[in-house]
Amino acid sequence: MNEQKKRTMHEHHHDETKEQTNMTHQKMDHTKMNHETMAHEHHSMDHSSMDHSSMDHSSMDHHDHMSGGMDHSMHMGNFKQKFWLSLLLAIPIILFSPMMGMEFPFQVTFPGSDWLVLILATILFIYGGQPFLSGAKMELKQKSPAMMTLIAMGISVAYVYSVYSFIANLINPHTHVMDFFWELATLIVIMLLGHWIEMSAVSNASNALQKLAELLPETVKRLRTDGTEETISLKEVKEGDHLVVRAGDKMPTDGKILKGETIVDESAVTGESKGVKKQTSDPVIGGSINGDGTIEIEVTGTGENSYLAKVMDMVRQAQGEKSKLESLSDKVAKWLFYVALIAGLLAFVVWLILTDLPTALERMVTVFIIACPHALGLAIPLVVARSTSIAAKNGLLLKSRRALEQANELDVIMLDKTGTLTEGKFTVTGIESLDDDYPQEELLKYLGALEANANHPLAIGIMRYLKEQNISPYQAENQKNLSGVGLTGTVADKNVKVVNEKEIKRLGIEIEKERLTPYEEQGNTVSFLLIDDRLVGLVALGDIIKAEAKTFIQSLKERKITPVMLTGDNQHAAEVVAQYLGIEEFYGGLLPNDKEDIVKRYQEQGKKVIMVGDGINDAPSLARATIGMAIGAGTDIAIDSADVVLINSDPKDILHFLDLAKQTRKKMIQNLWWGAGYNILAIPLAAGILAPIGILLSPAIGAVLMSLSTVVVALNALTLKIKE
């Protein structure tokens, strides 16, 4: 296993340059962007299970209780509006029509009230019922009837039969045919309320494509043939163009360096935690940040061939496949739909043979309406609302109801190293004085003087450290970049330089190998301070392991969950962290598709996988995993692709999630039994199976049972809690 992993790591590291050279990125063509953006917005609105950032209609989850068939063109605001307007329409219907034949003291009638009820019910059926009818159409098209189909059957049968009863009563006032307008109104309003509760509980996705576009600058500096610069829009960039990228700027496209040397921060894009040295002919990736040198790059491709575009394609594909998972409530709804359909049709045939058409119709309609209890619409949303509230108190943002259902019997948790197990930012890990005249604090003042105005990752780390230590740096004059080497300037009338190891060797300055080895073994970057061409000290910067990571890994093992570490960092850096934390399985030198492939490989072995990550390079694997978890301090793209966000970026909060998910699933199953379980008794009785011995469930008693189950479901949801 270890040999295979090492071989895999080596191959990925070896192929990385070739792979990335072929990837180029530029802001997508506006027509394509707008089309995909709209598709994503439609999806992210009603997919309260948050199928992350899936960006085309084909990958919409038609199964999810919340999204599965909900109108994919509705936004959250419109959905809220639909509930309140439907409630306004429902109130007079409830006041002017009886509940399954039972009249309440608050109900009133007056000449023409039946016409008013018919008109209001028709508007309500078309307006309020539209999401369910659209959803049922989608589910049936996919040949997988579920919650939307069950609701659509209930409201359609209630409306059509009520119109029939209205006409029958109008033609023959002496023969009263019971209507179901009351049930139609309450069913639509309660189902809309249930969906709204759940949508309010879980987060809405942001637009991942838009976030990707924001990684890139709006304009770029292009070189003309005469060597002068022109500022153009990014969308005008073509393959083969020569662009100038200055220190601190984002790489506008994927490309190849023609002139200059620099250190590039690729952490958000590839997961590589330390700055990557780049020189002539090396590839660069769109969205990464140029460090300390001005470079000229040649655009090697545009649009769909880019690194970022390929990442989003992988996310989209993974989402499409993941959306095929059915939720618990959909499984129950599918079962209920088939049972009700068969029982209702059988009841109609039998009663038609034994009695007459009106009686047979009434029995069939009663079965169909009872099969879609109001409680079923609230069973899961109320638990989810309670669960998300508890989650927020425990540092978790739940974006997917499905995550709560899938979190049981997990086998593997895959952890991206950078930002998940480590802090994900350059921190000073060591500073050593090599000259008695310059103690550590003095060295830091000189270092800070040169790094104060730089914006590459090393400089940011050093300045952060100075701030933490309350050290004020000296002032520097005549500062300038030494391309591919470091910085130089005049500080306190001395010539000061911060340079890399390559420059130290070029100058012929000897330094003990044993002094550098401990830092290099941990994957640290070492810089050297020269004052008046004399080596006076060194500073090491690296990504440090989070304090709580070790105990977290141990807790996972105690729960029989295997930790697996994935990283874009090199093999050596991966091995150092894995050994320290006690992780036996790890993979280094990975690209985004490699991480996703590893997740897929474990899933093909029948294992349920949690993936935890924070970078753009983690987005495809977050979408692919059984449950994707994003670190709250991570990139927007990762957060959009995840089911759960760790608000405090604390891996120990994952344990809180596992505990909460276990209790939540338990409550979901209890509520589904309360919400739908009575159908086991009610449907056969409503169909008239015991009619020969004088037992027949009247519509009124059926309505009372529905009301009781709704109350029980609500009270049961409120009892959800986890140990603090």
Burial class (CB in 10 A: 0-12, 13-18, 19+), 371: buried
Radius of gyration of the chain (CA): 32
Dihedral-angle region of residue 248 (phi above 0 means left; psi in -120 to 50 means alpha; beta otherwise): left
Cβ neighbors of 243 (< 8 A, separation 6 or more) are 220, 221, 222, 223, 237, 252, 253, 255, 296, 297, 298, 299
Taking a C-beta distance cutoff of 8 angstroms, is the pair 574, 417 a contact? yes
Cβ neighbors of 52 (< 8 A, separation 6 or more) are 205, 208, 315, 319, 399, 400, 622, 623, 628, 640, 641, 642, 643
Give the position of tokens 């990752």.
Answer: 457
Name the DSSP class of 99.
Answer: B
H helices present in 523-612, as ranges? 549-558, 571-581, 592-604
Catalytic residue among 46, 179, 330, 416: 416
Taking a C-beta distance cutoff of 8 angstroms, is the pair 528, 506 a contact? no
Taking a C-beta distance cutoff of 8 angstroms, is the pair 237, 220 a contact? yes
> Which strands sit side by side in the sheet containing 486-491, from one edge to the other?
422-433, 534-545, 525-531, 494-499, 486-491, 476-482
Beta bridge partners of 297: 243, 257
> In angstroms, rounded to a whole number, what is the distance separating the alpha carbons of residues 606 and 410?
11
Please confirm, yes or no, whether 416 is among the known catalytic residues: yes
Taking a C-beta distance cutoff of 8 angstroms, is the pair 537, 434 a contact? yes
Alpha-carbon separation of residue 162 from 48, 176, 325, 603 (angstroms): 33, 12, 36, 50
> For residue 646, what are its two tokens?
């760790």
Beta bridge partners of 426: 543
> For residue 125, what are its two tokens?
């059926």
H helices present in 202-306, as ranges? 208-214, 267-270
Q: What are phi and psi of 546, to 5 degrees?
A: -65, 140
> For residue 461, what are its two tokens?
């780390």
532's enclosing H/E stretch is none
> In angstroms, rounded to a whole number, what is the distance separating the alpha carbons of residues 199 and 187?
18
Count CA within 13 A, CB hemisphere, residue 663: 19
Q: For residue 265, how far is the Cα from the chain centroid?
A: 25
> Nearest to residue 215, comparing CAs of 309, 302, 279?
309
Q: What are phi and psi of 561, to 5 degrees?
A: -110, 125
Taking a C-beta distance cutoff of 8 angstroms, is the pair 233, 222 a contact? no
Taking a C-beta distance cutoff of 8 angstroms, is the pair 219, 232 a contact? yes
> In angstroms, rounded to a whole number, what is the distance separating the alpha carbons of residues 255 and 234?
14
Cβ neighbors of 294 (< 8 A, separation 6 or more) are 244, 245, 246, 247, 260, 262, 481, 483
Which residue numbers are catalytic?
416
